[in-house]
Every structure is written in structure tokens, then in C-alpha cells.
């Protein structure tokens, strides 16, 4: 009864506004993937409210809410797929340290490569710590996604999550590829 006082938009107006909202959300997420969860949650709230207030879009809203929850659940793989080159080139400077094996987020410690007998020098450790502080936004974003360990090698970076490992590798023809492995 209270809602009858409000202006009821037409189907075309609802579709245009919802489509515009989705396109705007996709653009924001592509420009700044670090705020993906906030964008997805805002979308879920908007579609829920539209489904409650406008009976015409309730099925559409329910479908979008389910899709957005699926995206939220699989975002770490989607994020790496979208930004694989960015992540590879962002961590590429750390590959020059022959004794650097990995960086553990939980312990905030740098592990030594198992094949290295000498270990990291104090200068190298300080350079790596400085590098990680300068790229804190990327490191925090990966940590927010659930990544707990990053391993480095000569031409690849591995991102370890609870249930998957994502390898980002530079091939011989200089293309960046990624591969997802399930953990058992």
C-alpha cells in the first residue's frame, strides 16, 4: 500500500537501469579489482531491493544474486585470469634473487629456495622487504583473496590458496599463461 504511492517504472526503464548498473559494476571491477567484493555486495543488495520492491524483476534479481555469489566464491581464479600479466610482472623483480623461494603471508617471512646453499644476504632481504612494502596494495589484495603463500622461480610465480594453486608462467614466446591445480 505504501509502495503504491511511488512512481512505478516501465519494464524498459527497469531493464535499462539494471543493465547500466551491471555495466558500471563490470567497469569498476576491471579498473580496480581490489574492491571486487564491495562491488559484488552492492550489486547483491541492489538486486535484492529491486526484487522486493518490483515484482517484475524478482526472478531476474534472484538469478543475478546467485550468479554474484558464485563470482564471489570463485573470484581468486577469475582475478588471476584477468590480471595474470600484471601479477607476473609485479613479482618478476623478485625472481632475480636466486635464493628466494617464497613469501608466506601468515608468518610474514621469506623462505629460502631449497636448491640454494648460501641463503639470502642481508642486503637482499632488505631489498625484498622494501619491494614488498612498495607493492603492499597488491600483496594485501592477494591476502584478502585468501592467498597464503607466493612461490617464485626463474620464470613462474605460484599463488597458494587453501584448495588450489595457481601457476602464472612466462612461456618461451613471452606470453603469460596460468594453470590451476586442485589441492587434495
- For residue range 35-76, list pLDDT tens digits in order: 767 777 777 777 777 777 777 667 777 777 787 777 777 777
pTM (2 decimals)? 0.66
- For residue range 5-20, list pLDDT tens digits in order: 555 666 677 667 777 8
CB proximity list for 68: less than 8 A, separation 6 or greater: 40, 43, 44, 47
- For 59, the domain range is 3-73
Same domain, 34 and 94: no
Percent helix / strand / coil, the chain, rounded to 5:
60, 15, 25
Instruction: Give CA 107 to chain center in angstroms.
Output: 21
Same domain, 108 and 41: no
Whether pLDDT at 103 is above 80: no
Same domain, 87 and 175: yes
Q: What angle do CA 172, 173, 177 make, to 5 degrees?
A: 80
Domain end, chosen from 55, 73, 91, is at 73
Amino acid at each position: 500500500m505504501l509502495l503504491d504511492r511511488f512512481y512505478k517504472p516501465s519494464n524498459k526503464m527497469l531493464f535499462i537501469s539494471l543493465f547500466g548498473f551491471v555495466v558500471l559494476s563490470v567497469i569498476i571491477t576491471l579498473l580496480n579489482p581490489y574492491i571486487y567484493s564491495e562491488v559484488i555486495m552492492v550489486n547483491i543488495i541492489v538486486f535484492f531491493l529491486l526484487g522486493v520492491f518490483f515484482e517484475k524483476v524478482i526472478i531476474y534479481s534472484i538469478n543475478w544474486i546467485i550468479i554474484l555469489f558464485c563470482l564471489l566464491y570463485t573470484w581468486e581464479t577469475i582475478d588471476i585470469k584477468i590480471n595474470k600479466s600484471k601479477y607476473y610482472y609485479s613479482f618478476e623483480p623478485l625472481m632475480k634473487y636466486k635464493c628466494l623461494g617464497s613469501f608466506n603471508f601468515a608468518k610474514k617471512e621469506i623462505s629460502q629456495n631449497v636448491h640454494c646453499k648460501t641463503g639470502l644476504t642481508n642486503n637482499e632481504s632488505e631489498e625484498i622487504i622494501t619491494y614488498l612494502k612498495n607493492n603492499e596494495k597488491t600483496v594485501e589484495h592477494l591476502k584478502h583473496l585468501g592467498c597464503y603463500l607466493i612461490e617464485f622461480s626463474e620464470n613462474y610465480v605460484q599463488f597458494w590458496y587453501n584448495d588450489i594453486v595457481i601457476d602464472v608462467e612466462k612461456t618461451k614466446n613471452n606470453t603469460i599463461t596460468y594453470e590451476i591445480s586442485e589441492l587434495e
